[in-house]
């Protein structure tokens, strides 16, 4: 495996996420413009902005799912390098991602889906089905399910679950990675308000107890205020807001979201 170079590692950093001068365009249209962003270890940060503001593109850049034309991104002090598969694996090693649509495999059991979370660090075909997974991996997956209140659902097929239950399984799968950073893209947007609050309470409680940094996007300003320490607002690909969550009620929201 190729060794890290000095430029691959951010030395003596207190930030788990550091973005410097990030720019991204699609079809000659500038989507992100000179983004500079720091997230400290253990923080909970909400990313807000209207549709088309660049939130989804920023998430894709942070996950290494799209090329960036300018700038640098570090997570857990490792620089994103999409041209080097070894460095890309190390970059993603400590990141767990929670999709808005859960992104589970419906024909498989709940337990198998949770075990898939370990594929990031142990790419073994035995981990695709719980019946073939090593006992220690199955035990850890059951523990993760227990943490989200679904241990008794382990043998159930995923397509029998409600939306809230599916998202809890997705959180359990993310916990299997033992992440240092958890990124969630509108994690409760597809759920009804009551279930959404339950899931957000669970997500905040688990990340807080386990010292996991949480970075999530949301359209719900109450969620941003209640579940984040800090709020970042994107507008036209530029960071217009970077404030403590308790200051959010002082923000002129209508002006921020105005076209």
What would the CATH number be for the domain defined by 8-94+179-259? Answer: 3.40.50.300
pLDDT digits 0-9 by tens, 133-185 = 788 888 999 999 999 999 999 999 999 999 999 999 999 999 999 999 999 99
Mean of the per-residue pLDDT values for the chain?
88
pLDDT value of position 103? 86
Answer yes or no: is pLDDT of 195 > 50: yes
pLDDT value of position 88? 85
Residues 6 or more apart whose CB falls under 8 angstroms from that of 230 comprise 43, 44, 45, 46, 242, 243, 244, 245
pLDDT value of position 11? 57
Percent of the chain with pLDDT over 70: 90
Q: Which of 1-5, 74-78, 95-99, 204-208 has the lowest mean pLDDT?
A: 1-5
Please give the average per-residue pLDDT across 105-116, as a whole number. 90
pLDDT digits 0-9 by tens, 77-105 = 899 988 888 888 888 889 999 988 888 98
pLDDT value of position 81? 86
Supply the pTM of this predicted model: 0.90
pLDDT value of position 259? 64
Tell me the Ramachandran region of residue 153: left when phi exceeds 0, alpha when psi lies from -120 to 50, beta otherwise: alpha
SS (H, E, C) 193-256: HHHHHHHHHHHHHHHHHHCCEEEEECCCHHHHHHHCCEEEEEECCEEEEEEEHHHHHHCCHHHH
State the pLDDT confidence band at 125, using cuts at 50, 70 and 90: low
Tell me how far CA of residue 105 lies from CA of 91, 169, 208, 230, 241, in angstroms: 25, 11, 28, 33, 37
State the pLDDT confidence band at 9, using cuts at 50, 70 and 90: low
pLDDT digits 0-9 by tens, 30-89 = 999 999 999 999 999 999 999 889 999 999 999 999 988 899 999 988 999 888 888 888
β-sheet bridge partners, residue 39? 17
Q: Where in the chain is the domain with CATH 3.40.50.300?
A: 8-94+179-259
pLDDT value of position 3? 52
Answer yes or no: is pLDDT of 24 > 80: yes
Answer yes or no: is pLDDT of 227 > 90: yes
State the pLDDT confidence band at 1, using cuts at 50, 70 and 90: very low
State the pLDDT confidence band at 246, using cuts at 50, 70 and 90: confident
State the pLDDT confidence band at 234, using cuts at 50, 70 and 90: very high
Q: Give every strand in the sheet of 44-48, ordered side by side.
A: 95-98, 181-185, 213-217, 44-48, 230-235, 238-244
């Amino acid at each position: 495996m190729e060794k890290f170079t000095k430029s691959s590692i951010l030395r003596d950093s207190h930030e788990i996420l550091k973005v410097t001068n990030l720019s991204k365009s699609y079809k000659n249209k500038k989507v992100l413009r000179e983004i500079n962003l720091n997230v400290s270890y253990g923080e909970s940060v909400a990313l807000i902005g209207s549709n088309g503001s660049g939130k989804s593109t920023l998430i894709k850049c942070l996950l290494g799912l799209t090329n960036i034309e300018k700038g640098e991104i570090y997570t857990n002090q490792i620089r994103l390098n999409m041209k080097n598969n070894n460095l890309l694996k190390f970059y993603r090693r400590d990141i767990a991602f929670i999709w808005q649509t859960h992104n589970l495999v419906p024909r498989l059991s709940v337990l198998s889906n949770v075990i898939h979370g370990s594929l990031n660090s142990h790419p073994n075909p035995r981990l695709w089905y719980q019946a073939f997974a090593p006992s220690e991996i199955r035990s850890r997956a059951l523990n993760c399910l227990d943490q989200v209140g679904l241990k008794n659902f382990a043998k159930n097929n995923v397509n029998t679950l409600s939306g809230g239950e599916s998202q809890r399984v997705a959180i359990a799968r993310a916990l299997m990675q033992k992440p240092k950073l958890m990124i969630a893209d509108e994690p409760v947007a597809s759920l009804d308000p009551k279930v959404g609050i339950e899931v957000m309470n669970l997500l905040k409680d688990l990340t807080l107890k386990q010292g996991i940094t949480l970075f999530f996007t949301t359209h719900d300003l109450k969620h941003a205020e209640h579940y984040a320490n800090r709020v970042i607002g994107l507008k036209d690909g530029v960071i217009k807001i970077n404030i403590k969550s308790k200051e959010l009620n002082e923000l002129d929201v209508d002006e921020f979201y105005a076209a």
